[in-house]
Structure 1
Amino acid sequence: MLFLKNKAKTLDVANYTVIIPSICVGNAAQLACDLLIASKKLKRIGSLAHPALIPVYGPSAYQHEPNERVASCELYESVEDKLLVIQFRAPLIARHTKSFQNKLVELLQSARRVVVLSGSFGFERRVIEDSPWAYRASDNFKSAHAAQLGNASLVKWKEHTGDNIFGGGNGLQLFRAFEESQVPVMLLFRYLLEGDNSTDASLIVRELNELCEDFLQLRDGGDASFKLTVPKSWNLLFGNDVTELLF
């Protein structure tokens, strides 16, 4: 399942924060991970292979690694920040999803914390005044981050208690798999609609940084501004331009 560029057989994620996107409505979580990888110039360290992953192969998605190639599931790392981001480039095959999730939990068992990003259909927000943000956190994650989760600026986050996240892909199932294995885990998602979700992706990263600025470090030194780099792959986010030969 694990193919690392350094040919190692195991992945050392002790003391690491791992961020995983769920393949959700509008691909918002994947786009958010794109922003993280490009903004922090994370290095591709390898890929994952499993029957649940549709095989794809293509050119680099990021300008800071122009000679890399990407596949269905890639691993990007910042050694300095102890940060690992997993990125998906294709949907999962449903009948193999549970097996893949179990293997992923086994691979990341020693992580300090796991954050699953996702989204949900905007019309599922029943009360229009409610927050567009919701989260789910395991007890050990809540204990480790009581100060941040109790911060007055985060009261806009609503704790999700339901059994489903409609449009959220396998985000909730992935959360439960890590929770059952006692890995500190949080699921963060935003209510949104299909379409151009690049703005939602940047908002997800900003909210995540508000909680986890200690390791994301997206602010430039003492500068209070928030810096994000748009990856070059977004130039064709909706495919190629219509050819003039059609007219």
Structure 2
Amino acid sequence: MDFNLEEGKHLYNECSTLILPALSIGNVGQLAVDLLIASSKADRVGYLDDPNVLPCVGNDAYAPAPQGDLALPLEAYESPSSALTFIQQRSPVVKGMMVEFAKNLADFAVASGKKHIVILSSLDFGRWQTVDMSSGLQIYYLSNTNVDGSDDKCEKLGWKKMKEYDPNQKLWKYLNTLAEGNANQDDIASLEDDLGEEDYYPSLPFAAMFSCFKAKGLKVTCLLCYCSEGDNIPDAFHLAEAACNLVGLTPDTFKGIWPIQ
């Protein structure tokens, strides 16, 4: 993975928290990152070129009227006032290359001095085992603060740990082995014929990213919400608000703002 700075731009040392999406159902993670970038008025500082991401190109992602600036598959934005770096991913990863892509992202995070990684993603509502909407949309989390995935700060914010996380489950263990470089990724083919319901969560992109960032010794927090395909704007607002609460920012700045026209 190569990082290319835009002319006249530079990375800010104080932006030590990185927020990025993991692609999943409804694109909620991407929409939430769009919302955070637009509302924080983060500046695009460069783009990442990775052979594991499918190419794509588009027009301005955030300008009210297109100015002719190209939007690329992997872009880096920084908001010095919020001490945040954002990576926005606009196209999927080549099939079978998610772990390699996640390793490259982790290498970039370490090289650029990031200390805390916040991954935003969504889960399939159809797999939600205990549906309780009494308190509205629920945020679930996964953290490497403790071995079991729990985090006191996330608990105090009222979120629930993803109960399906089991570091001793075979696919989670295998992900850790791959992330640490102690196995050949081709070996995963031997597991594919024996995958069960318990393997759904560790098979998702956020799981590979979580494992690879963790293997580099970085603090990682995944914020997750259940959703279905359709109008996922409320889910994106909810996930973006959770990210603000996690990093100590007020979400008031983006209420009523939506960058996608």
User: Matched residues in 2 for 1:188 and 1:204: separation?
Assistant: 7
Asked whether 1:171 is paired with 2:206, we answer: yes
CA displacement, residues 147-173 of structure 1 (integer Å, 9 cap, x when unaligned) = x3242x41x423442454549841011
Match of 2:4 in 1: 3
Matched residue pairs, number? 220
User: Matched residues in 2 for 1:169 and 1:12: separation?
Assistant: 31
In 2 relative to 1, CA 176–228 (structure 1 residues): closer, same or farther, beyond 3 Å?
A: farther
User: Matched residues in 1 for 2:106 and 2:11: separation?
Assistant: 12
Instruction: Give SS of 1:51's match.
Output: coil
Q: Are 2:119 and 2:222, in contact at CA under 8 Å, matched by a contact in 1?
A: yes
Q: Give the C-alpha shift of residue 72 in structure 1.
A: 0.6
Instruction: Give SS of 1:84's match.
Output: strand
Asked whether 1:113 is paired with 2:116, we answer: yes
Which of residues 211, 236, 242 is equivalent to 1:207?
A: 242
Name whichever of 157-166 and 118-127 sits farther off.
157-166
Q: Are 1:23 and 1:168, in contact at CA under 8 Å, matched by a contact in 2?
A: no
Q: Are 1:47 and 1:75, in contact at CA under 8 Å, matched by a contact in 2?
A: yes
User: What value does the CA root-mean-square deviation take over the aligned residues?
Assistant: 2.8
Match of 1:135 in 2: 141
Q: Which runs of 5+ in 1 are unaligned?
A: 221-225, 236-247
Match of 1:219 in 2: 252
In 2 relative to 1, CA 53–197 (structure 1 residues): closer, same or farther, beyond 3 Å?
A: same
Name whichever of 24-33 and 57-66 sits farther off.
57-66
In 2 relative to 1, CA 132–149 (structure 1 residues): closer, same or farther, beyond 3 Å?
A: closer
User: Matched residues in 2 for 1:103 and 1:12: separation?
Assistant: 20
- TM-score after normalising by structure 2: 0.74
User: Matched residues in 1 for 2:79 and 2:65: separation?
Assistant: 14
Q: Are 1:137 and 1:187, in contact at CA under 8 Å, matched by a contact in 2?
A: yes
Instruction: Give SS of 2:97's match.
Output: helix
User: Matched residues in 2 for 1:24 and 1:118: separation?
Assistant: 6
In 2 relative to 1, CA 40–167 (structure 1 residues): closer, same or farther, beyond 3 Å?
A: farther
Q: Give the C-alpha shift of residue 98 in structure 1.
A: 2.2
